[in-house]
Amino acid sequence: CLETGRVSWRGSRETGIVTLQRIVVVLQIACVLYIAWSSFAPLSWGEHGGLVDSDYHIHKRPTVEVLNWYQMVLLGLSRITAYSMFLPILLVVVSKCKLLVEVLNRIQWCNVLFTDALSLEGHEIHVLMGNFIGVASTIHAVAHFLRWADQGNLEFFWNHSTGISGFVAIVTLPLIVIPMAVEWVRKRLSYEYRKAMHLLALPFALALLHHLKWEDGFLPQVTTACLVMYAADRLGLWALRTKSFTPVATVT
């Protein structure tokens, strides 16, 4: 009976992971379509148009200015990758909120979709989303670098909050992701070192928090929600005098 329950739980966990991945992909596509439309629809369409005029000029802030079609392609890459990361960033944090996962476990309809996919034994979602953030952030940063270099605006990296925070984020991110994701590195670093380097997620999050002004996009709101949620989860665990919860298996 115990073995049957274990197999059933593992099956439901894998089903939950696949279902959650599909939901993430659909929502990411929605985010990408939104930013593509809001950025590049003709400005002449008024309130339903985007930000670009017939001379390729972006009417917003200087860090997203474009002067030709090449820079427009690069801006498209950077903005699309940015908006595609919102949900993965949220899931990376949620998957480590032990108290929240336990609460979701007690809601019947969440049991398979969320708890089995996000539980401590279901570490796949955290890994998948973390790896996605690593790749998408690299594309995002390279696209910005090439566009600013083409404009002669590399000084944004040291005299503008977007460039400074982006530099901090892209420097800390490899130290967070690579020791856990790359097998060659993982085998040569002890778990203690890799875990300590993972704590750089805090300065990474603070960099994201200062990457945009509150009114310029959704990143500050998403990052604030993640920081508040994780802090509340840690506080809740401390209040309950426990370090972790064991997800309840679904036995059929």
CA-to-CA dists, residue 139 to 84, 135, 205, angstroms? 12, 6, 18
The pair of three-digit structure tokens given for residue 8, joined into one six-digit string: 């059933």
| pTM for this entry | 0.76
Question: Looking at per-residue confidence, does 108 or 122 come out higher?
Answer: 108
Sole residue written with tokens 């099956």? 11
Which pLDDT belongs to residue 101?
Answer: 74
pLDDT of residue 61: 75
Residue 249: pLDDT band with limits 50, 70, 90: very low
d(CA 220, CA 211) in angstroms, rounded, equals 8
Question: Nearest-5° angle of CA 121, CA 127, CA 132?
Answer: 155
Phi-psi region of 46 (alpha: psi -120 to 50; beta: other; left: phi over 0): left
Condensed to tens digits (0 to 9), the pLDDT of residues 24-46 reads: 777 778 877 877 777 666 554 44
pLDDT tens-digit map of 5-25: 333 434 455 555 566 667 777
pLDDT value of residue 7: 35
Do the beta carbons of residue 169 and residue 211 sit within 8 Å?
A: yes
Region 76-88: what's the mean pLDDT?
A: 89
* The token pair that represents 205 in the structure block: 């999050």
- Distance in angstroms (rounded) separating the CA atoms of residues 26 and 46: 28
Query: What three-state secondary structure class fits 66?
Result: coil
Give the pLDDT confidence of 121-160 residue by residue, as tens digits: 457 778 888 999 999 999 999 999 999 999 999 999 999 9
| Mean pLDDT comparison of 16-25, 77-86, 136-145, 209-218, highest-scoring range | 136-145
Which uninterrupted H or E stretch holds 24? Answer: helix 2-40
Query: What's the confidence (pLDDT) of residue 145?
Result: 96
